[in-house]
Structure 1
Amino acid sequence: MAKTVIVTGSSSGIGRDIARAFVARGDNVVLNGRDGNKLADVAAGLGVPDRVVAVAGDIGALTTGTALVRAAVERFGGVDVLVNNAGIFGAKPFVDVTEQDLDSYLNGNLKGTYFTTQAVVRRLREQARGGTIVNIGTVLINHALAGLPASAALVSKGGVHALTTSLAAELAADGIRVNAVAPGIIRTPLFGDGDEDASGELALLNRIGEVSETTAAVLYLADATFTTGHIFPVDGGFLSGRAA
């Protein structure tokens, strides 16, 4: 039976591939991103207009999560899965981080995840048939890099990890499972012009990951009916050791 899946930040990178995978297996997908034109292109590229709806909006705004749920209900009759992928990441020395910088990460990563999840959970409780939430974190919460000063981004993503375990406990009685995927270094547009492959030596598998490998973990957690409160590293062994 087809599920209805909301994927935030699905106009590029990891989120776009997650949306592609859910559509490919026959599910309905609600796309989200800040750029409406880009999002429309992604929706058109998926080639199944009857199973995809795009909702543009900044995930840090309280109204966006409500709009996503409304679109899912009006178009597909409900919601089953939320993938909180939208977020931002960047490096900046701790003492140079401004209030604006910190607010940007907290709004885009933590607040967006928090209130979108809140909107979805309200609907899941109304439906009374359970559901699943998959957050996107990062393994850098557990193993930081001296050469990558990213305290502002990591504080917000650390909050996402804490939210995952807290909600897993709070929502278990509702049949709502909450897990997170914690990617290592993945080839995405976040790298810009950087040489991401040079970072592959940091992991036991001696390479960086591809978005499809993160997607595989999301699909697993979406279907793993006896798994909740789990932070699933997809990092090529980055947390476990070093290739050299």
Structure 2
Amino acid sequence: MPPAAPSVLITGSANGIGHATAHHFNTHGCITILSDLPATQHSTEALITETFPYPENALFIAADVTSWTQMTALFETAIQRFGGLDIVVANAGIMEESPVLDLEDVDEEGRLRERRSKEGWRIMEVNLGGVFNTLRLAMFHMKNNESSNSKREEISPSIVLVTSTSGYFGGTGVTAYVASKHGVVGLLRASQEVARRYGIRVNAVAPFLTPTSMTAGFAQRWQQAGLETNSPGRVAEVIAQVAQDSSRRGECVLVSGKYTREMESTRTALLPSWLGEDIAGFMARAMQFFSDIGGYVLPRRR
């Protein structure tokens, strides 16, 4: 009996990088579950029918990544339909539409208005909270679906978090977006202990500027400046490579067109020259201490 096709779930897949990733996996014969906001369902299903080579292997399930109820239903529906999930790509993300640190946004009494703070927290809720929801649910179902995954023994459960070069560098001025993507890198690092415990691989991809709706305001000028051009399709290729490379654990690959770099192992190798041998050595011993005592001992709530 031939092995079942790998099943892949991608959040934020109505357009941009998420849609290109879904298309890439579908082209290679994978069962592909696309998810995005309910308002995108009709247009996304039309694109699946019109452009996917195997539309019968693709399914759209509406869910808002910030809603625990909707995300729980998304995972349960996907697993009931296909018997398990092999790869999950936490891609959904948004960017602020106005500067959230605008200090001139004041009311008639000269007080700073709350609305920019609300927009900033909304970015954090989607880009970081949504990835956290996706990661937690994916790990839970991947650890609890051993029997369904027995038909796909050659596939190790794999999660890819889509961060950004803004998760490592913060000079573009989009404050909430940069902060949220730094948070995704933090999730990548902090999730490794639990991921190893359950045999799940968690990695990340950090695209540099990629022409999507987020970059429409300056994409043409970027190209006119002669800078390296990324594409959603190129990022999708790297996401698929990272997702399926069984040797990768806790890594993050920066991708910008022809350029790719592994960020996490590079950072680790540079710690002695960055911090100094003495502090780097001390921190290594400190981390070993926490490992030896079974992790950070959480404070008790009073």
Task: Classify the TM-score, shorter chain.
Answer: 0.7 to 0.9
Residue 36 of structure 1 is matched in structure 2 by 41
1:235 correspondence with 2:256: yes
- Among the aligned pairs, what percent are the same residue? 24
Residue 266 of structure 2 is matched in structure 1 by none
Could you list the runs of 5+ residues in structure 1 that have no partner in the other structure? Answer: none
Residue 199 of structure 1 is matched in structure 2 by 222
In 1, Cα distance between the equivalents of 2:16 and 2:214? 8
Residue 116 of structure 1 is matched in structure 2 by 134
Residue 184 of structure 1 is matched in structure 2 by 208
> Match of 1:42, SS?
helix
Structure 1 residues 156 and 195: alpha-carbon distance in aligned structure 2, compared to 1, 3 A threshold: closer
Contact 2:26/2:53, CA 8 A, preserved across alignment: no
> How far 1:9 moved relative to its partner?
0.6
1:142 pairs with 168, 184, 197, which one? 168
Residue 10 of structure 1 is matched in structure 2 by 13
Contact 2:101/2:116, CA 8 A, preserved across alignment: no
> How far 1:188 moved relative to its partner?
1.2
Structure 2 counterpart of 1:9, one-letter code: G
> How far 1:50 moved relative to its partner?
2.9
Structure 1 counterpart of 2:48, one-letter code: A
Structure 1 counterpart of 2:158, one-letter code: T
Larger Rg: 2
- Between stretches 48-57 and 114-123, larger displacement belongs to 48-57
Listed one character per residue, the Cα deviations across residues 51-103 of structure 1 (whole Å, up to 9, x for unaligned) are 11111121111123212211221221111110011110236152457221122
Listed one character per residue, the Cα deviations across residues 184-210 of structure 1 (whole Å, up to 9, x for unaligned) are 011112223x231433588xx932201
Residue 76 of structure 2 is matched in structure 1 by 70
Structure 1 residues 28 and 227: alpha-carbon distance in aligned structure 2, compared to 1, 3 A threshold: same
Residue 61 of structure 2 is matched in structure 1 by 55
Could you list the runs of 5+ residues in structure 2 that have no partner in the other structure? Answer: 104-114, 150-155, 263-302
**Larger RCO: Structure 1 or Structure 2 (Cα < 8 Å, ≥ 6 residues apart)?**
1
Residue 92 of structure 1 is matched in structure 2 by 99
Residue 281 of structure 2 is matched in structure 1 by none
Listed one character per residue, the Cα deviations across residues 161-216 of structure 1 (whole Å, up to 9, x for unaligned) are 11012112321121101111101011112223x231433588xx932201111011
Q: Give the TM-score taking structure 1 as reference length.
A: 0.88
Listed one character per residue, the Cα deviations across residues 200-244 of structure 1 (whole Å, up to 9, x for unaligned) are 588xx932201111011101111110111111101355999xxxx
Structure 1 counterpart of 2:31, one-letter code: N
Structure 1 counterpart of 2:12, one-letter code: G
> How far 1:41 moved relative to its partner?
1.8
Q: Give the TM-score taking structure 2 as reference length.
A: 0.72
Structure 1 residues 93 and 177: alpha-carbon distance in aligned structure 2, compared to 1, 3 A threshold: same
Listed one character per residue, the Cα deviations across residues 102-149 of structure 1 (whole Å, up to 9, x for unaligned) are 22111111111111221121111112354110011111232233xx31
Residue 155 of structure 1 is matched in structure 2 by 179
| Total equivalences in the alignment | 235
Contact 2:32/2:58, CA 8 A, preserved across alignment: yes
> How far 1:47 moved relative to its partner?
5.1
Contact 1:53/1:71, CA 8 A, preserved across alignment: no
Two-structure CA RMSD over aligned residues (Å): 2.3
Residue 104 of structure 1 is matched in structure 2 by 122
Contact 1:16/1:42, CA 8 A, preserved across alignment: no
